[in-house]
Structure 1
Amino acid sequence: MTRFNRTGFTAHFHPPKDQTVGTVLDVEAWHPETGDALVADLDGGRLRSVNTYPNFDHLEGTDVIIGAVPGGDWRIGWEQVGDEPIVTEPVPAWLITRAGFAHPVTTDLESAYGEALSPHDAAYLIAPQTEGDPS
């Protein structure tokens, strides 16, 4: 399950009796005749209606990405413990959602992978310096 998907919905399932956390799957599509939410059946290798699972609980809305824009020299900062300096990372891009929110895409310190965050996940969003900016 991801924070974003193409349908804007996730399917939530009750946990097995020996577990406390249920499964959450992205809704991949909608059945054209019944309108049922379809999820990937990993065992069967096909899309399957959530209504065919006895432990299906409910659907929840999630964000849908409608575009991306360059990061424009923005940086994201993380608070450190004690006297350590704030760690900052570049924001190479912003993901724009259907609801109009912009989520910064960050990388790890080696720029090996990217992750879309809520702007509230970081301690600081640092705007690019502009011409004439005193800092």
Structure 2
Amino acid sequence: MQLSRDFVHTGWVAIFTGTDTQIGRQREVDGWDPATGTALVVDPEMGVRRPVTDYSDFSHLEKASQVVAVLPGGGWHASQRGRGRHDPDSATEPVLAWLVTSIGGLIPVTMDHDGWIGTDHDMNRFSPPDR
């Protein structure tokens, strides 16, 4: 799963502008240095936590939302509305769970017809359970 600002446990991401050898990127803030209060990120090459200020291309921190609760799908289904007036909606997928974010967002966790499970921020049409 790709980094999403809805799945950041600290609620912060560090933004890096890039260098001659590395493209711009964002990294999840993994914690805070207890002595200096500086944000820490995991350096995947060294396998250690490093202060963001150790990176010459560190730009800034951005607030991200956090998942604060998970609710059962409750029989709901989700699909994506067709783009054009005559385009059909996507196939419906069962909602297995709802992720509730710290900013009040509700993100469906769905399963497609091939059995792949994941979040989908593009789903924008929801059907209640059959009664």
For residue 113 of structure 1, what is the aligned residue in structure 2? 117
For residue 14 of structure 1, what is the aligned residue in structure 2? 17
**Structure 1 Cα separation of the partners of residues 100 and 65 of structure 2:** 9
**8 Å Cα contact 2:97-2:109 kept in structure 1:** yes
Task: Give 3-state SS (helix, strand or coil) of 1:91's partner.
Answer: strand
**Structure 1 Cα separation of the partners of residues 11 and 26 of structure 2:** 13
Q: Percent identity?
A: 37
Q: What's the TM-score, normalizing by structure 1? A: 0.81
For residue 34 of structure 2, what is the aligned residue in structure 1? 32
Letter in 2 for 1:64: Q
Shift of 1:126: 1.5
**Structure 2 Cα separation of the partners of residues 45 and 99 of structure 1:** 32
**Structure 2 Cα separation of the partners of residues 96 and 83 of structure 1:** 30
Shift of 1:86: 3.9
1:59-74 to structure 2, matched below 5 A, reads 59-74=61-76
Shift of 1:12: 0.6
- Count of residues paired in the alignment: 126
**Structure 2 Cα separation of the partners of residues 37 and 83 of structure 1:** 46
Q: What's the TM-score, normalizing by structure 2? A: 0.83
Unaligned runs of 5+ residues in structure 1 are 131-135
Q: CA RMSD in A?
A: 2.1
For residue 48 of structure 2, what is the aligned residue in structure 1? 46
Shift of 1:96: 1.2
**8 Å Cα contact 2:79-2:89 kept in structure 1:** no
**8 Å Cα contact 2:109-2:117 kept in structure 1:** no
**8 Å Cα contact 1:80-1:87 kept in structure 2:** no
Task: Give 3-state SS (helix, strand or coil) of 2:53's partner.
Answer: helix
**8 Å Cα contact 1:2-1:26 kept in structure 2:** no
For residue 122 of structure 1, what is the aligned residue in structure 2? 123
